[in-house]
Structure 1
Amino acid sequence: MNQPHITNPSRRWHLAGAAALGLMALAAVPAALAQAWPEKPVKVVVGFPPGGAADQIARLVSTPLAAALGQPVVVENRAGANGNIAGDTVAKAPADGYTLLMGSGGMVSVNPHIYPRMPFDPAKDLVPVASAARVLVYLMGKPTLEANNVQDLIKLIKANPGRLVYGSAGNGSSPHLAGEMFKSQAGLFAVHVPYRGAAPALTDLMGNQIDYYFDPGIGLSHARAGRTKLLAVGSMKRSPLFPDVPTLDEAGLKGFDADSVFGFYAPAGTPQAVITKLNTEINKILNSTAVKDRITALGGEALALTPAEFGKRGADDSQRFGAIIKERKITAE
């Protein structure tokens, strides 16, 4: 159908002006949305039990975030399936900025490799909002372990194949992958016992129920007190908290790096203005001395990234961890 020809110049200017005003109004929507949000409490769902690294970091950030947003930020723990239960909850939540996920990074970089089916696609159903911390893992032995360094532990395991037991925060968790990387590079055979989080694994380590495990930082105070034996850091650089403790790379396992990045995600479709505001406020919090020091005390390192940088880190970790998962035939079972 042919469009009518507008011959009245004033009519043309009127239509052009209306169109321009419409475009201006559309452009103003994100800014208005960012100013209006939030108008009610924001919920942060944590995929691990209370007391673990993800839970502690979520609560550490949520208090100043609530002050910055002018609304309560409520932390809710939904543990299980290496973060999948919490991830699925957030992925299916309304994309309005009122439900966020605090994930360990493994949900995006590990779970797709170890679960044959997932109730959601983390790469499509969630979007990165803000990183929070680079979390190191620390090789710790039980109090009565007959080894005082990495080489002694390797010799002990090799002399007793299949008799030593190591724990983890669950199948596919970063402590589990660190344990498998350790066995792979050192050529060891030890039995893996998965727990529902790092805290219960640490409890059994201190009770001499398991022989060793990779701690995500929650057991460092116990190591200082002699309730565990801290043998090495599973990172490419030493921890500033324990400058005399070598890395596994220094101990002979070249290139050993089991670091992971914890951070916040939102349901796909969450308005970009809300994501930008959250990223800005969370990064301000992470750059504060008090929060930096607290994350360092937990054994990690505060890490402020843009959403794009955070997403790229997850993709890179997926490649790195995917290789060891394939080699060791790791599954979620």
Structure 2
Amino acid sequence: MPIPRRLLLGAALAAPALARAQAPWAPDRPVRLVVPFAPGGSQDVLGRLFAQAVSQSVGQNLVVENRAGAGGIIGAQEVARAAPDGHTLLLATAGQLTIAKAIGRRLPYDPIADFAPVIHLSDSPVALLAAPNLPASDIPSLLAFARRAPEPLPYASTGTGTNTHLIMEDLKARERLNVEHVPYRGAAAAFNDLMAGRIALMFVSVPSVLGFAGGQLRVLGVTSRERFPATPDVPTLIEGGVRDFEASIWTGVAAPAATPAPVVERWRREFAAALEGGLVKPRLEGLGATANGSGPAEFATLLRDDLARWTRVAAPLNISLD
């Protein structure tokens, strides 16, 4: 029995609409990738690498927008308030999405409820450094010395409430170390005092260690689960006897909350492909990072776990930055 002409005509008219409905979402104008740090740092370099790689594959420019200030809170606020249409993304770190809340900062957004996790891009461990005059040659001897030190050993951080502060406080609590905090504004001045023996210890990002020109830093351990490729001779703290002690400066991508799932999935695919591509992959080690690539569900779990960990560590410290 022949199909009525009106049904054929209706099917023909519906076909373009059905094709549009089934087509994957794609941005229809340039996309902002908000980097909540000033230009020139390792996170900015990483963001620009990904922006270049993803722009090539998605067919729209990802424009890096540096919105530094307040430890990254200004940039995160910009994204939290943006339309959830896939055209504004955040290059996210713990500083904005977990640590800020953990240390009690007054935030203009909820770091969990106001963002849609897209992908966990990379991890950069931190390195434990010791002063040249410290009588410890490895992690076990350092821990033993720091436990029995008659006076608190001064340790540096790159600022109160930063990763390097909280990671040391976590180690202090776990291993009952007699150390006290001396905050610095960045790593350079702390390196000088460490080399002179005015401070005893510090955690610092691996990119800072790799970029130190002197080559005289005593690196006792790193906080990754496995040895870090760029420093293969440096053991992990886990190898040194600190059970399950792992910490990283992670980087991910987040979108405004209520961004539709197909939009989140398109960005996950694009950034995952860039992570394995020839532009980004060869540069990661030099930036002190390793690829991760976990998707929205795993990234959301990381955010919750990270927030719980640093809230526990920060609770007895009575940090006040506002």
1:284 CA displacement? 0.3
Query: Which position in structure 2 is the counterpart of 1:7?
Result: none
- Match runs of 1:181-200 below 5 Å: 181-194=170-183
Count of aligned residue pairs for this structure pair:
309
Tell me, yes or no, if structure 1 residue 88 matches structure 2 residue 73. Answer: no
Gaps of 5+ in 2: 1-5
What is the aligned counterpart of 1:252 among 231, 241, 245?
241
Q: Distance in 2 between matches of 1:232 and 1:306?
A: 29
Query: In the alignment, does 2:110 pair up with 1:121?
Result: yes
1:293 counterpart = 2:290: no
Distance 2:92 2:79 in 1: 11
1:102 maps to 91
* Contact 1:140 1:228 (8 Å CA) reproduced: yes
CA displacement 1:14-54 (0-9 Å, x = unmatched): 9xx89xx69x959945737x24x1322x2222223444443
Q: CA contact under 8 A between 1:134 and 1:300: conserved in structure 2?
A: yes
Report the equivalent of 1:4. Answer: none
Check whether the contact 2:123–2:289 (CA below 8 A) recurs between aligned residues. yes
When normalised by structure 2's length, the TM-score is 0.81
Amino acid at match of 1:161: E
Asked if structure 2 preserves the Cα contact closer than 8 Å seen for 1:166 and 1:193, the reply is: yes
**Residues 158, 288 of structure 1: alpha-carbon distance in 2 compared, 3 angstrom cutoff:** farther
What corresponds to 2:189 in structure 1?
204
In 1, Cα distance between equivalents of 2:19 and 2:161? 43
Q: What amino acid is the match of 1:184?
A: A
Contact 2:98 2:111 in 1 (8 A): no
Provide, for residues 51-93 of structure 1, a one-character-per-residue CA deviation record: whole Å limited to 9, x for no partner.
4443232122122122223333232333344432221121112
1:239 counterpart residue number: 228
TM-score normalised by length of structure 1: 0.78
Matched, 1:263 2:252: yes
2:19 aligned with 1:31:
no
CA 1:74/1:203 → structure 2, altered by over 3 Å: closer, same or farther? farther
CA contact (8 A) 1:48 1:78 kept: yes
Alignment match of 2:209 (pick from 214, 220, 230): 220
Q: Which amino acid aligns with 1:329?
A: L
Amino acid at match of 2:189: D
Match runs of 1:147-158 below 5 Å: 147-151=136-140, 153-154=142-143, 155=145
The alignment status of 1:74 with 2:53, answered yes or no, reads no
- 201-210 or 84-93: bigger deviation: 201-210
Write the distance in 2 (CA, Å) between the matches of 1:143 and 1:226. Answer: 12
Q: 2:219 aligns with which of 230, 237, 241?
A: 230
Structure 1 unmatched ranges of 5 or more: 1-12
Name the aligned partner's letter for residue 191 of structure 2: M
- Taking the aligned partners of 1:193 and 1:56, their CA distance within structure 2 comes to 29
Contact 1:143 1:206 in 2 (8 A): no
TM-superposed deviation, 1:315 = 2.0
